[in-house]
Structure 1
């Protein structure tokens, strides 16, 4: 499973730079490559999460206060403010779910299509049988009856196919086209959603997509 990366923003780099002497040795070793030149464009989400969890421990709070640093600056909301999730990934375009009206209209169209096909099949079979029966009444031989009924059935089948194609093309033209509300490119370039702070504190949110996080006094939940 690949590690989720977060873009390393300048303000995050500024508050992470004085941390290595204060952090536990294991966390400090992991952090140093991300605050040293050349600076990488991203930083792993689990690393930021471990730093945030450490800042809420008694030892972490004491170490931060001794260095005149604010523990609140290392909450996940502060660390992720203004950052972009997985900027190196390319996500497909987001297609919104169909509305109730669109789903109902689609089901109605499907029922009409099935009804049209059944009617066409009955017309083909009925016309072929009627021709065979009528030809038999005129005294034709069986082979001529069969050929004549097949010919009529083929003509009816072609006519029904043409009529169905015309009906289907008109239905497609009349159907409103749904637009993509959000594209992956737009999500990467700036359209954002705010992630629930409680989820950020305890793990990676479910269904996390590439997004830009905004600093806000109140954090809205993403459903």
Structure 2
């Protein structure tokens, strides 16, 4: 968790990364212009649990500083019980940005809700900061979810670093390194490390990676996603 405030305080630098760059698990960090939108289906296969989940994410730019985001998870293979996960919605409001000829940084607040299977909504609140310079980008987000109807309060964070591997090319290859944490009240935090790649070619992004549970060396997941920017 110490790395989160460090990322929030980094000095800005030269802006050179595409607007479609972001972490594999940090969808809330994606910037959008007014009227812009993006859709992303993301597959995650958990080898330990032998389950596969498809999460469909959508975002729409209300303005240069306001964004709506939605996510709907659905288990398509393995496991038992109800396949549809809890849909969630976010409103992101950018409160501060520093755009100069030597760099760019942004800071935003997040608000939204998670809709449980019984129709009960639980509030979500959080914050997101982004810094990028030349071939580097760092995103840091922190989100808390309220308790309700038998579900405990929870919190999560993601800290990601993206690095452009092929400067000067039309299509971009980006390496992604992420550290994330997930915690429910009354339990220990699960720490996860994600390593991946992104291929950015115009409005299309193909991305994938491996998620390793640092608390359980036998638990590994594989991510594969595709984005289209409109």
Question: Which category describes the TM-score, using the shorter chain as reference length?
Answer: under 0.3
More strand by share: 2
Bigger radius of gyration among the two: 1
More helix by share: 1
Under a length normalisation based on structure 1, what TM-score does the superposition of the two structures give? Answer: 0.20
Q: Which has the higher contact order (CA 8 A, sep 6+)?
A: 1
